[in-house]
């Protein structure tokens, strides 16, 4: 195959190096830092004691700001790789902030589904992988930013789907999911040869006629039933299993035309990464009518108890519940709420299925808590092996759903109704950041916030949790108590994912600033004062370090 690969030295990271990313705490090589979805870094030079000396050392503007800076930066050997809105990719000197190269993907002048923001890119085999807003997967030379290959997964005009999340490189493959939960589309997950772009396998998240699970779709609804794979998955090398959260069925709120459980919507799926074959699945919400995606991150945690090691998967659902599964078999272990205000179900039964689901009649308006933006947005949680706590955000808020029948046309938007946003009926709306025992859900501490939080969490070996708020403040909490120890006004709402890295012995914290998320427009419907307090959309990366360069 014909690829102009960079020299061997620059062909890093190989699949093997990515596999052991935990051995390189100075770098942040994959979307979640490591394949287990932890968003944890062992770096510990910045501590609870000295974090108040954290100071900005450089900033980087990506240019166009619509969509905001939702990305997770990657760092390899002193070079940072960042994607901004409209698929602009940059390589940056991680010490100085100086641009090394840029690549602006040539987006066609067509309707782009979703926001122009992107959540991340992937590194591997000397390349940078970008999923585009018009549904292409592009490989760039990591050394020069030059385009090497580009493959169109499906015409965005036919499917209404595109890529807003980071691809995942595993061994010799690059795996990429897509959007499509609000469009008449049958979603999938694709694997490509990481070097050549050759398509290797596709897993449809809606079974075809003759496949198990097809019977959970009514009539022709399987053809356009959504089930998107719009966030990045996790991987267990020991089991060689790829875990991916699957989103909502379409249309979101009207389900008369798709009666049945609608597999594999709102599920966690486990695939053999070599073949793309389904090993197991677990559906959290059958026949979803609330737009409660199951697309969020899969956090892989091993728990030692009673002399054995349980390989678990912790999965927050948009509806405010966290499911805990045995990731070897997919068997249900536990489920517990990460927000207090939940009215759409009354707990789960012994199989982990929701009890007494709140009906959403096809006519009329239903009051639902949390609202369709979720008990939490997509922005990720973090797990620390030091505290053995899982850190997560939550919002106490509600809303309404008013279903409406819509004509189904392939690739066209199909919400099936409208949603509203309101405070809970019995208390003011608020947000919080919490530390939980990931298996039992026992809450170790809670840090209450005025508004919903849209920044991912990062937890470090210095026992600090880094994130930020919609008013533009980047901040650090004590991972052991939840106490706020440091804060800095970045000037842009925080909706991306902070990372930490080290170059020449100095630890840095990179925090994306600039909130252009769709949800931004809904927040003032619940907190009117937020309208003035939220900065305008922007897209800037701020990098911090301790003032003393010796640290």
Partner 1 sequence: MGVSLLLTICLLSKARGELQPQIPADRGQTQEGAALFALNCASTYCHGEGGKGGGAPGLRDRSLAPEDLRHLILAGIPGTAMPSFGSRFSSSETDDLVAYLVSLSSRQSGVNDAVPSAGTRQPPRESTRAVPEAESNSTAGPTIGPPTGRVGSGGALVGEAEAGRSLFFDSAAIDSCRVCHTFEGRGGKVGPDLTQVRAKSAREIFESIINPSAKIDSNYSTLNVTTRDGRRQAGVRRDESEERLRLFDTSTMPPVSRAIPRTEILSIERSLRSAMPDDFGTRFSEKQLLDLVSFLKASRQGVTLEEVK
As annotated, the active-site residues are 291
Do residues 168 and 191 touch, judged by C-beta distance below 8 A?
no
- Residue 532: phi, psi to the nearest 5? -85, -25
Instruction: Report, in Å, the least distance between residue 137 CB and partner 1.
Output: 9
Question: Is residue 43 involved in binding partner 1 (CB under 8 A)?
Answer: no
Instruction: Report, in Å, the least distance between residue 379 CB and partner 1.
Output: 15
Task: Report the Cα 494 to chain-centroid distance in Å.
Answer: 15
Instruction: Report, in Å, the least distance between residue 116 CB and partner 1.
Output: 7
Instruction: Report, in Å, the least distance between residue 399 CB and partner 1.
Output: 9
Question: Is residue 180 involved in binding partner 1 (CB under 8 A)?
Answer: no
Residue 20 CB: number of other CB atoms within 10 A? 13
Q: Which of residues 228-287 bind partner 1 (CB under 8 A)?
A: none
Strands 430-436 and 443-449: antiparallel
Looking at beta carbons only, is 111 or 275 nearer to partner 1? 111
3-state SS string for 291-332: CCCECCCCEEEEEEECCEEEEEEEEECCCCEEEEEECCCCCE
Q: Which of 109, 305, 359, 426 binds partner 1 (CB under 8 A)?
A: 109
- Measured distance CA(208)–CA(248) in Å, rounded: 18
Q: Which of 129, 149, 338, 397 binds partner 1 (CB under 8 A)?
A: 149
Instruction: Report, in Å, the least distance between residue 484 CB and partner 1.
Output: 31
Query: Which residue is listed with tokens 């062909």?
Result: 11
Using the contact rule CB under 8 A, the part of the chain among 45-53, 178-186, 311-319, 350-358 near partner 1 is 178-186
Tokens of 260: 């049945």
Question: Is residue 154 involved in binding partner 1 (CB under 8 A)?
Answer: yes
Contacts of 445 (CB under 8 A, 6+ apart): 434, 435, 480, 481, 482
Looking at beta carbons only, is 115 or 473 nearer to partner 1? 115
Using the contact rule CB under 8 A, the part of the chain among 191-199, 326-334, 350-358, 445-453 near partner 1 is 191-199
Q: Which of 2, 7, 49, 210 binds partner 1 (CB under 8 A)?
A: 2
Question: Is residue 155 involved in binding partner 1 (CB under 8 A)?
Answer: yes
Do residues 381 and 316 touch, judged by C-beta distance below 8 A?
yes
Q: Which of residues 197-226 bind partner 1 (CB under 8 A)?
A: 197-199, 202, 204, 208
Task: Report the Cα 364 to chain-centroid distance in Å.
Answer: 32
Binding residues for partner 1, rule CB under 8 A, total: 63
Q: Which of 63, 96, 98, 152 binds partner 1 (CB under 8 A)?
A: 152
- Measured distance CA(430)–CA(527) in Å, rounded: 9
Site string for partner 1, 418-457 (x = CB under 8 A): xxxx------------------------------------
Residue 277 CB: number of other CB atoms within 10 A? 10
Q: Which of residues 489-548 bind partner 1 (CB under 8 A)?
A: 516-518, 521-522, 525, 537
Tokens of 317: 């659902």
- Measured distance CA(505)–CA(56) in Å, rounded: 17
Q: Which of residues 332-391 bind partner 1 (CB under 8 A)?
A: 363, 372
* DSSP class per residue in 77-141: TTEEEEEETTTEEEEEETTT--EEEEEE----SS---S-S-----EEETTEEEEE-TTSEEEEEE
Residue 200 CB: number of other CB atoms within 10 A? 17
Question: Is residue 114 involved in binding partner 1 (CB under 8 A)?
Answer: yes
- In the complex, the residues that contact partner 1 under the rule CB under 8 A are 2-4, 66-67, 86, 107, 109-117, 146-155, 157-159, 182, 185-186, 196-199, 202, 204, 208, 363, 372, 402, 404-406, 409-413, 415, 417-421, 516-518, 521-522, 525, 537
């Amino acid at each position: 195959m014909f690829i102009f690969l960079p020299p061997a030295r620059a062909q890093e990271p190989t699949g093997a190096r990515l596999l052991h990313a935990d051995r390189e705490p100075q770098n942040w090589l994959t979307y979640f830092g490591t394949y287990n979805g932890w968003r944890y870094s062992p770096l510990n030079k910045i501590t609870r004691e000295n974090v108040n000396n954290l100071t900005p050392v450089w900033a980087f503007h990506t240019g166009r700001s619509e969509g905001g800076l939702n990305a997770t930066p990657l760092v390899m050997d002193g070079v940072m790789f960042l994607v901004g809105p409209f698929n602009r990719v940059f390589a940056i000197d991680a010490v100085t902030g100086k641009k090394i190269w840029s690549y602006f993907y040539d987006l066609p002048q067509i309707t782009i589904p979703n926001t122009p923001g992107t959540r991340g890119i992937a590194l591997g085999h000397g390349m940078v992988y970008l999923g585009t807003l018009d549904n292409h997967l592009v490989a760039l030379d990591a050394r020069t930013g030059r385009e090497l290959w580009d493959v169109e997964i499906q015409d965005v005009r036919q499917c209404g789907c595109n890529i807003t999340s980071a691809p995942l490189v595993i061994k010799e493959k690059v795996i990429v999911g897509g959007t499509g939960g609000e469009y008449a589309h049958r979603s999938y997950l694709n694997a490509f040869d990481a070097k050549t772009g050759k398509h290797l396998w596709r897993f449809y998240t809606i079974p075809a006629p003759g496949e198990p699970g097809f019977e959970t779709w009514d009539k022709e609804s399987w053809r356009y039933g959504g089930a998107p794979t719009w966030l990045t998955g996790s991987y267990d090398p020991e089991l060689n299993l790829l875990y991916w959260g699957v989103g909502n069925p379409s249309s979101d709120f009207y389900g008369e035309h798709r009666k049945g459980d609608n597999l594999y919507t709102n599920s966690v799926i486990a695939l053999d990464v070599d073949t793309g074959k389904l090993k197991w699945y677990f559906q959290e919400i059958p026949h979803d009518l609330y737009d409660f995606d199951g697309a969020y991150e899969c956090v892989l945690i091993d728990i030692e108890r009673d002399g054995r090691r349980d390989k678990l998967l912790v999965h927050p659902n948009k509806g405010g519940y966290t499911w805990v599964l045995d990731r070897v078999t997919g068997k249900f272990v536990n489920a517990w709420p990460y927000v207090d205000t939940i009215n759409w179900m009354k707990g789960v039964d012994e199989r982990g299925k929701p009890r007494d689901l709140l009906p959403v009649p096809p006519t009329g308006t239903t009051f639902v808590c949390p609202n369709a933006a979720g008990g939490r947005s997509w922005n990720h949680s973090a797990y620390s092996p030091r505290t053995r706590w899982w850190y997560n955000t939550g919002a106490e808020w509600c809303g309404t759903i008013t279903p409406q029948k819509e004509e189904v046309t392939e690739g066209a938007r199909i919400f099936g109704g409208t949603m509203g946003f309101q405070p809970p009926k019995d208390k003011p709306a608020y947000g919080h950041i919490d530390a939980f025992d990931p298996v039992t859900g026992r809450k170790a501490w809670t840090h209450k916030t005025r508004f919903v939080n849209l920044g991912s969490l990062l937890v470090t070996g210095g026992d600090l949790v880094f994130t930020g708020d919609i008013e533009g403040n980047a901040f650090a909490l004590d991972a052991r108590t939840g106490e706020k120890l440091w804060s800095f006004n970045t000037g842009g709402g925080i909706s991306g994912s902070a990372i930490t890295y080290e170059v020449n012995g100095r630890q840095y914290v990179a925090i994306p600033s600039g909130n252009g998320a769709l949800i931004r427009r809904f927040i003032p419907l619940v907190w009117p004062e937020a309208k003035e307090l939220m900065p305008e959309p922007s897209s800037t990366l701020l990098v911090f370090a301790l003032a003393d360069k010796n640290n």
